[in-house]
Amino acid sequence: MNNSDVIQFGDLLRQLARYKWLLILTVISSTLLGLLLSFLVTKKYEAEALLMPAIQNHGVSQLPSDLLSLGSFARLNLGGSSTEKAEALAILESRQFARGFITDNELMPTLFRKSWDEVAKSWQDNKMPTIYDAVTRFRDTVYTVRRVPNSDMVRLSVIWTDPSVAFEWASAMVSRLNSSLRTRAIEKANRNISFLEAELDKTSNVELRQAIYRLIEEQIHSKMLANVQEEYAFVMIDPPVVADLDDYVAPNRAVFVLGGGVIGLLIGVLLLVVLSTRQSRER
């Protein structure tokens, strides 16, 4: 460290002592500005549901090992609890699921309110956002799926400026997923039954016919369960609720106040450095 550095640092300390009230005023003003901004920012509310996979292995048996080598039966998709749970989670987290929800509920004007003319019912300047933009915004800022550590359960969260809308969307998404997977399960069971009945007509092997009858019975059982279970894919352990107006998740006022204070401190120190440098040059 040379002498000029010591002198400049000493000048800075003297300026700090001389203009300490300027520094304090800058920090206080910036902190209050951050607090004011926190009141002006649009509040956002969260509706969260805790879900547990409802799909269970309904006793689906396997064909005898010596029959699995037959090409026709190797193509038979019997599923299983682990496979169906993974499928349900993958669909819930997919862009396609978000796309379908946005499209079917006509959410484009809601997601891009600033670009939508509510009176004319048209896009401003005829610039309609793409569905890709809508899905990206929905997944990045509105809809979140978090897996609970060391558990099969997941948390589905919807954040929006209206607590009632957040609640409705969260509930509708769970209902949509259950309905979609229930339909897929019924269609798969029907395909399996048709396949098994066709194979039944082709064979006279007693052991194989018994195995096919058993599989048909289990597919019918799976189809029946899919028809009667509304919560087919996920059960809501803790359903979403409408948040109170004072129970918002954003903005975080503490972050705004702290950020304002830090920015004010940096601005104050910068001012002191400028004053110190200017006075050093004048001397």
- Mean pLDDT of the region 66-89: 62
- Mean pLDDT of the region 160-177: 95
Q: Give the end-to-end CA distance of the chain in Å, rounded to a whole number.
A: 22
Peptide bond into 251 cis (omega under 30): yes
Distance CA 111, CA 75 (A): 43
What does the longest C-alpha to C-alpha distance in the chain come to?
110
Token output for 245: 């107006």
Distance CA 108, CA 134 (A): 7
Q: Give the per-residue pLDDT at 281.
A: 67
Q: Give the per-residue pLDDT at 59.
A: 44
Q: Which residue has the higher pLDDT, 238 or 11?
A: 238
Q: Which of 45-59, 74-88, 169-183, 208-222 has the highest mean pLDDT?
A: 169-183
Is residue 66 pLDDT above 50, yes or no?
no
Domain ranges of the chain: 3-41+251-282, 45-238
Of 260, 271, 251, 252, residue with least CA distance to 32: 260
Average pLDDT, the chain: 83
Q: What is the b/e burial string over 15-39, where b = at least 16 CB atoms within 10 angstroms of the residue's CB?
A: bbeebeeebeebbeebbeebeeebe
- pTM for this predicted structure: 0.76
Cα torsion for 127, 129, 131, 137, to the nearest 10°?
180
**Spatial contact of 154 and 89, defined as CB atoms under 8 Å apart:** yes
Distance CA 114, CA 93 (A): 27
**Spatial contact of 35 and 257, defined as CB atoms under 8 Å apart:** yes
Q: CA geometry: angle at 102 spanning 98 and 136, to 5°?
A: 55
234-261: pLDDT as tens digits: 899 999 999 999 999 988 888 888 998 8
- Mean pLDDT of the region 196-210: 85
> Helical H runs in 203-242?
206-228
Q: Give the per-residue pLDDT at 139.
A: 94
Q: Which residues, at least 6 apart from 30, have a Cβ–Cβ distance to it below 8 Å?
A: 260, 261, 263, 264, 265, 267
The one-letter amino acid at 236: M
